[in-house]
Structure 1
Amino acid sequence: MLLNPTEYAQIQNRHLRLVTLIRLRWLAIIGQALAIGLVSLVLEYQLPVAVCMSLVSLSALLNIGLRVAYPSTQRLGPGTATFLLGYDVFQLASLLYLTGGLENPFSFLLLVPPIISATALPLKNTIFLGLLSAIAASVLIIQYLPLPWHPDETFSLSFTYLVGIWVSLLASLLFIGVYVFSVAEESRQIAAALQATELVLAHEQQLTALDGLAAAAAHELGTPLATIALVSKELQREFSSDSPHMEDLVLIREQASRCRDILGKLNSLSSSGDAQYNQLLFGSLLEEIVAPHRNFGVELNIDLSGDGEEPLLVRNPGLLYGLGNIIENAVDYAKTTVKITGRWNAKQISVSIEDDGPGFPSEIFKRLGEPYITSRSQSDPHKAAEEPGGLGLGFFIAKTLLERSGGHMVLQNKTNGKTGAVIKVHWSRETIETAGEALGSSNLL
């Protein structure tokens, strides 16, 4: 199952909770008020207390207004969140202007708003806040009121040292911002890919459950159909054979009997009550996975052999989708042939899928299996643009599902002058035979 673009947009939407910003701002307000009180009342340094407390009060009023106007569950869009974080940069820069500029030991707090943005907002918003903090630091290196100090002493740092502080702030802003954004972006991609995996598995589970629903419907309809057949039989006895109604009564009985036969077939599809349907021999399971991909102009060959009795595996959505997706990709890239090789012994079961296509591109080979890594753009850019699967989620989902079934996947390209990709998956026989059903019914997240 491929997710449509709307679903991708929903998965990757970025919002920052309003209550998070409010709590962080309260923490800043308390810290700023305590610092101003300590400097003016305890240390008795001279500073513009009224103006400083006015700026702190402004932040407190903003927090109160936001809490009154919006519910605690409100999630902010990137634009609104950027505006509020931009206000925090402006408020902090104003306090630093009044209390020594970059000479103030708390000037490093200018890094906080861009770093918060890097964890949750898009790159362009983070860059904007980073530039805003850099501009504020640049202004504060030349425009600021003296640092509050002893009345009979003057504290002053050389301009060269201030430039060093300015450079260290910008370097820290760049390094920490890039690092935090990269880690957060990777986490977002993994979370979105796993959510997509859950959607796919849920879809496969729904398809698997259809047979059970059909069996339930057959059971519920069995009683009224039996009643119809019984009543029509009794009515036949009431009418003579030459009655004009006799033909209609015979037809009713025949159709009721036909309906019961159809419902009997549906009832046999019950996956929950029919162990024979729920379990398949290894070769039959591979054939079931391969069947939908035949008749696409590519020859699909299955080669089975092993030591001992052929494994009996549980049919589950994760295994079916995982191997099915890999075979589908092989068919897409193959020139003429895809070979599926199944092997087993007393300890291990393995499946090898080979195609005669171009193979895995060398530039992304080591990263295949990560979300949003795809080779479609290199080989077929039009297809990559048209299909959400071109984002590289399909292979990630397949790999995740197969690994959760206990499998280990190995990727390689053919050698000795041949072209094509080879994907091998192997399981411990005990693991896949006993734990397969649990995978099909469990949640991934």
Structure 2
Amino acid sequence: MSEPAILPTTPAEAPAEANAGRRNMALLIQLRWLAVGGQLATIGIVSGPMGIAISRAPLLAAIAVLIAINVASLALLRRGRAVTNAELTAVLLFDVAALGWQLHHSGGLANPFASLFLLQVVIGAILLTPASSWAIVVAALAAVGVLAVEPTPLILPPPYAADPMGLYLKGSLVCFLLIAVLLVAFVTRISRNLRDRDAALAASRQRAAEEDHIVRMGLLASGAAHELGTPLSTLSVLIGDWQGAPELARTKELQDDLADMDAAVRRCKTIVSGILMSAGEARGEAPQLTTMRAFLTALVEESRGGRTPGTVEFNDLFGADVAIVSDPALRQVIGNVMDNASEVSPDWIGVTATRDGAMAVIEISDRGPGFSAEMITRFGQPYSSTKGRPGGGLGLFLLVNVLRKFGGSASVANRDAGGAVVRIMLPLSAVVAEGEKA
């Protein structure tokens, strides 16, 4: 006689607690199927080759109840929601009751398989809360107490009647082996489920902390953008006045410098406007409809501005173009990566755009010093930088978190030819325009 159970795995996208609870319920379902098979085999052997008379009707009725519990548990899993501690406790209590019923009709405590209560107690201690675990212990003790009250005795045929203790010891050995194997096989899987749950919870907490950090940085950036708007406008007016001043108009070198200053101020104003738009403070701004090729080309052209011609190489291997909705945050984080690459490798950076199925793949390469082993290990964490500047190391952190919201990812590596490469994987379905096919 045996008991509780498993089934396949649960959806990976479910929350950590729900995922662990569903896997544990699946584990109980599988174990219960093994119990049903073992009980049927035991009934067949005992009443067949061994020739021991047993009441098969109540034993088979208990097996039918276990099958019904499994069917109900499978229906519970198919609902797709979390499996609660109360539901796990309920099915384990049914298992204790079913085992007690079977033992009552097959010798009671004289049946060596009475030790299977221990397996249910151990599983309850691992899967359930402390209060529920003690409820399983109390239920098992109550079942043992009931078994001591007028159980149906086993009538042993002559070959076994002469040495009932020998038969009991052999049955106890089989029961011990059964408990040992099931504990090793299934308790280790339960422990793995719990470890996976703890790891997923830790990852969720880390992600929540990172997102909170991003929110605080966004508020800071939005406030700074508001404050920078006025001085930038003042600078723009002053530069315009200087450019029109007669005494300065005759000096070409000064006019060139003023033009560069004006371009720099305009770029700063564009950056500030982008920050405010990303923060939701730009009024009347509709999402910009463009194409993936135009989006990437604009990023490259912006990176080329103010740099020596030929230092930014763009390899367009994307293939068939697709209409997308341009996202300011995505444009900003990719632009940051290109700026960082230009900073460490002013003579050359390479931007390669390819397509891998439904994913857009953007690789940004440079000929700089590359990433250290520590940087690669800490990739995506805030303030992880080789530049040594206070507050540095946020570019890749923001890249990872923005891509995560789109369902994408990023990775970094060092190039064999020297330098580094940042690889961006962006699902086209997350940015494709409505009505378009990715």
User: Is the structural similarity TM-score above 0.5?
Assistant: no
- The TM-score with structure 2 as length reference comes to 0.42
Q: Per chain length, whose mean CA-contact separation is higher, i.e. which structure has more relative contact order (CA < 8 Å, sep 6+)? A: 1
